[in-house]
Structure 1
């Protein structure tokens, strides 16, 4: 599997290092006026030279055809895919976008491209595994506690552009869908210091309360999640979200448990 990475911000650099460690990084792209352009990615990460030179995203088609990555992981901004998705599709490169802040019309465009069946696309505004477990737990709470009040709290570093976060919006949407509500779920956003990311759901009843939270201690959580999603997407076409990644993981787990049960039954019968 060969992966191209777009975006070399604080998170992008950590993702690049993680993908290097996994032996799958083959291409790194930055914006045309970036000071990182034409440097070895190893130099930018304070590592030995890797032979992977950071390239600008202009003339993208020829660069993708030359490198031929299987998957492109986007940690840049919404405009990159908006401007280049048809070029990426033409080159047969599947896409994972961990970018937040897409408008509904932009997401619809990505779905339409994926549904043509030429490439796979995963949209994951928060690609960490833990926060997606939080999302699944929130759905269960909404199913069982429809007469309770739901509030979402999210905290991120002061440089994060979108507020509330894409993840908080997704949690709110899931609660609304499950409860079949018309009114918005309250989201309380904090932008301060260097907070990597924290999401908390508080479910309040008249006599009790539940709090479920997830906090990222390091941006390596994003890198680990991106790599796992790449393993999921490799060889697939169509449109996916993190819930689809989790469903495959659950299916694998069910097969493992079933195989274990068969072995245990055989052992007991032979005893």
Structure 2
């Protein structure tokens, strides 16, 4: 093996099960697209391979089926829209600040490269849902995705409305900002990914965690990082 990226061997595989039988991996890591992940991760778990999944936009139908297969095959997994340790601390901080600033307006803004297919990002959705959970409000009723041209008066206070906004431009790795705005003041909680090193670091921690995990369930990075 080598740490030199120029010496990494990449194989185009059409039959995942054959590769699993041949290589006998302990853990499979998947950062691809939802249709591929939903197919391949089930194959992995059915063959006793634990999974670390960073793919976003996974369907609830898949997640329910995947959890059933995890229990049936005694094969736990980690799923997180963002493996970066700093982002997962942001999740926790968002909840803490919301408890103290529940009467303020709260907006979530995320920026990514122009090739990112889904919007808003899975990370932004976790942030927004975390805020809703903290406030005890229904995301379906509270979250407002973007604002169109024309009259668009905002409902005051986070319990009434939380705006979620997506920017797609250039080669932005990933920025997430939570804006808490009160009367005459505001607080911005921000995470910026300057490279993908943070995601890789978190993924390695997730691999080590799930390789030794005995409980058959889906874990998130909060559990991996003991937050």
TM category, shorter:
0.7 to 0.9
Counterpart-to-counterpart distance in 2, 1:143 and 1:114: 35
More helix by share: 1
Aligned to 2:37: 81
Shift of 1:20: 5.1
Aligned to 2:60: 104
Aligned to 2:177: 200
TM-score normalised over the length of structure 2 = 0.83
Q: Is the 8 A contact 1:200 1:212 kept in 2?
A: yes
Deviations 1:1-46 (A, max 9, x none): xxxxxxxxxxxxxxxxxx954xxxxxxxxxxxxxxxxxxxx6xx32
Deviations 1:92-121 (A, max 9, x none): 110011111112222222222223351111
The answer to whether structure 1 residue 187 and structure 2 residue 183 are counterparts is: no
Counterpart-to-counterpart distance in 1, 2:42 and 2:182: 48
Runs of 5+ unmatched residues, structure 1:
1-18, 22-41, 251-271
Distance 1:119 1:20, change over 3 A: farther
Give the alignment of 1:56-205 within 5 angstroms. Answer: 56-116=12-72, 118-182=74-138, 183-184=142-143, 185-205=162-182
Q: Is the 8 A contact 2:112 2:169 kept in 1?
A: yes
Shift of 1:174: 0.5
Which segment is superposed worse, 128-137 or 57-66? 57-66
Shift of 1:72: 0.4
How many residues are treated as equivalent by the alignment? Answer: 204
Considering Cα pairs closer than 8 Å and 6+ residues apart, tell me whether 1 or 2 has the greater RCO: 2
Aligned to 2:149: none
Which segment is superposed worse, 163-172 or 78-87? 78-87
CA RMSD between the two structures: 1.8
Which segment is superposed worse, 165-174 or 113-122? 113-122
